[in-house]
Amino acid sequence: MKKRIFALLLAVCLLAAAVLPVYAEAFTPEEQYEALCATAALIREFGLDSSSLDDPLGRVLPGSPSKEEVIARLTADPELYARLMAEMLSAYDSHTMYVPAGSYEQTFYTTSSYVGVGMTLQPHPLGALVSELHPRGGAAGAGVLRGDVITAVDGVSVKGYTVTSVSQLLRGDAGTQVAVTVLRGQDEKRFTLTRSELTTLCYYGTPLEENIFYMHWSAVMNDGSYLLFLRDLNTMGDTEQKCLILDLRGNPGGDLELAFSIITDLLPERVVFFSTATRDPKTDELDVRYQLSDGAGRAFRHIYILTDEGSASAAEIITASLCDTGYATSIGSHTHGKARGQYHIPLPDGSTVVLTTMKLMSLRQGDYEGVGLAPDVPSQRVYVPSEETITVPADVALAPYSCSDNGELLNRALVALGCLPRLPEKPYQVGDETLAALKDLRARYYLTDPAPGAGIPTIQLVNLLLQQQGQGSYLRDDPLQTAIELARELLAAPAEVPAA
């Protein structure tokens, strides 16, 4: 059994992102002992903060007990194995941990189908912040909005809870319901959410304007999203006169090699863009390696990257690499500050060992662990009071450049929702500003509307958002609007011509 488990762990360590079958076999005490020994050897061999003289198992089993004594303890106490694993791994950095069987999906982002209410959460002092919503999830359907702070679940306060703990409270069987209390600005609201089975891809892309393309990665996972990303790049035509908005807000990271591929696809020159460091198990010295693009990526006029405190790990690698090489400008708030890479090693009993093995370093900032990356252009989503009660008649579509009272209602609704910074010069017309705002709105909510202006599905979405907003306030997406305005200014300026 020891050889089998150690071979399994060693095979994982040779892969940057391993996906191995989990057999969910129950460990006997003898197998638990062998798994502990194999994990200790793995830490000593590959752990970033370990060394060749490290004794991970000896720290949690002082006194050098014999194999027979340890097995006897494991037999007498069925909970001892999990405690020893957790204690042994927690002695290192905060990212190294033991994840018990059945808890992995609640602890880490996965791309498989799951039953839930369709919310991506971030830490918040009062509970958990809603950073993203699944368009078909129960939360979006009930009226929860991005930026809401969950303060209670089924009447129980979640202040001080981890994001994982809040997520576990929200999970359950499909068709069941869960009550949540949220804080929206200064207003407290209550919703009843229905759980359902949800499947999402990590990537979504759409043109916002003729020469501005929007891409959103909710995680850096190869669930088929990379093929969609390449498809969009290949169907864009000449990108040198286009700007790209790359939205990485709320992105917890994911696959390191996929992040490097995305970066290389967006770098038109052969250039060093990032560095990593692993520990040499023979010398215990750091082995630093530099990542080099192949020079075959697409050239954009410029790239604008949207970040926030939920942008972590691989999302930070993409941000740092593209900004450090001068091809991108980051807009938003400080990123999370996760500059360590881990192997996620599933064990046959369904549990997982997560071990930090790599230091991630920006060319410009170096090690940003616990600090994060500062945005080039600070900007945040903000709550704005809404005093008007607006409804746009949804029985008549509005054609481009048409003028009517309904057009003015639509423009006022878009201002109230934060899609327009102000009423257009002709507030009654569905003009260029209105059309751009509608395209952006449809992109954010994954809405397909064949009408060239404001079709009935689009107007219905606008009214739904107005109803969800209700009294109080709405969340205005200033970072996205800033990126669009900067892109428009750049595209309107003459392109720089290289010196002969």
Alpha carbons 120 and 158: distance in angstroms, whole number: 16
The structure tokens listed for 339 are 């500059």
Greater model confidence, 445 or 395: 395
pLDDT tens digits along 213-253 = 999 998 898 777 899 899 999 999 899 999 999 999 989 99
Query: What pLDDT score was predicted for residue 218?
Result: 86
CA distances, 100 to each of 174, 252, 345, 348, 465 (Å): 23, 21, 12, 12, 40
Concatenated DSSP letters for 123-162? EETTEEEEEEE-TTSHHHHHT--TT-EEEEETTEE-TT--
Name the architecture of domain 203-378: Alpha-Beta Complex (3.90)
Lowest mean pLDDT among 117-126, 358-367, 489-498: 489-498
What does the pLDDT average to over 385-402? 81
Place of tokens 């060749």: 52
Strands 127-133 and 119-124 turn out to be antiparallel
Alpha carbons 240 and 115: distance in angstroms, whole number: 42
Name the architecture of domain 112-198: Roll (2.30)
Greater model confidence, 240 or 1: 240
Which DSSP letter does residue 197 get? E
pLDDT(7) > 60 = no
What does the pLDDT average to over 160-164? 82
3-class state of residue 33 by DSSP: helix
Specify which residues 358 forms β-bridges with: 341
Domain edges within the chain: 2-101, 112-198, 203-378, 382-476
CB count in 10 Å sphere of residue 315 = 30
What does the pLDDT average to over 154-179? 90
pLDDT(12) > 50 = no
CA atoms in the 13 A half-sphere facing the CB of 182: 27
The structure tokens listed for 115 are 């039953």
Rounded to 5 degrees, what angle do the CA atoms 77, 82, 85 make? 125
Specify which residues 307 forms β-bridges with: 332
3-class state of residue 91 by DSSP: coil
**Strands (DSSP E) along 284-381, which ranges?**
286-292, 302-307, 328-332, 340-346, 352-362, 366-367, 377-378
Strands 286-292 and 212-217 turn out to be unpaired
